[in-house]
Amino acid sequence: MTLRDKVESRLAGELVAGERVLNALIAFRAGGVRKTMIGGAAGIAGFAGAAGMALAARRGQAEVPQVPISTPGRFVFAFTSHRVALFTVGGIVRAAPGKPLRSWALDQLAWVSEPQLNSGVAQALQGQIGVTGEGVLGYEFARLQVDEGRSAIKRLARALEELDTAS
């Protein structure tokens, strides 16, 4: 059973008609991969310019406060056809979605930054998502999830662009 399947099972009673879980990955807060891999303190990227480097930005969105949205060091990042949801990491042997942390409908997302690949020992794909009225969600996907993470974020960016063309 994949992590996506586990998220789908976890959300079974909450999914609206037609909603599908598209991606589910283990994510780290910004700087978390480096900290986990080499035990050093890692700085987190600044938020001020993130919207300017957006892969997708929605028209007419209210301003996003330039404050980080708090997340645990590791969490499950899930993207459905209707929302982005975060869960604690549960499971004893294999990762599974634990308690729900946050959830935002796609129309609450103002922009998605172009993900950047941090190379070196602690290779990670790092990016940010601007949430209207709340702040900036910083995340990283570790080395083994870089390709899947890049694909998920591009898919999310396309979904935001489709919201604008539909309205």
Q: What is the CATH number of domain 3-166?
A: 2.30.29.30
Q: How confident is the model at residue 43 (pLDDT cuts 50, 70, 90)?
A: very low
Q: How confident is the model at residue 94 (pLDDT cuts 50, 70, 90)?
A: confident
Q: Residue 88: pLDDT above 60?
A: yes
CA distances to 55, 145, 154 from 25, rounded to whole Å, are: 20, 7, 14
Q: Residue 32: pLDDT above 60?
A: yes
> CB under 8 Å to 44, separation ≥6 — which residues?
29, 30, 31, 68, 138
Residue 122: how many CB atoms within 10 A of its CB?
A: 20
- The better pLDDT of the pair 140, 63 is held by 140
Report which residue type is found at 62. A
The span from the first CA to the last CA of the chain, in angstroms, equals 37
- Of the chain, the percentage scoring pLDDT greater than 90 comes to 64
